[in-house]
Amino acid sequence: MRDLIFSVCVVTLIYQTPYFTLMAYNFLALSQMIFVGFYKPFVSKFDNWLEMLNEFSILIINYHYMCLTDFVSDA
């Protein structure tokens, strides 16, 4: 579901509001981390940990993307 929402945001909003697209994807990754942390949807502890690691890496990549584009104004 997260990938579907991200795809819709990217396709429809990238030219109108690219900042909203970045923030929406950041919010989705963060909410997925919270969901996996609280509800532990996988049977294996390793699978839950791996999913948390994947979401954390997506957040870090997204933060770098926000810092290296025009999302932040120049000093």
* Cα 69 from Cα 19, distance rounded (Å): 10
Residues 10, 24 contacting (CB under 8 angstroms): no
Query: Max alpha carbon distance in the chain (Å)?
Result: 48
Q: When comparing pLDDT for 17 and 44, which is higher? A: 44
Q: Is the pLDDT of residue 13 over 80?
A: no
What pLDDT sits at residue 20? 76
Residues 36, 52 contacting (CB under 8 angstroms): yes
* Cα 9 from Cα 72, distance rounded (Å): 20
pLDDT digits (tens, 9 = 90+) for 37-55: 999 999 999 999 999 998 8
| pTM score over 0.75 | no
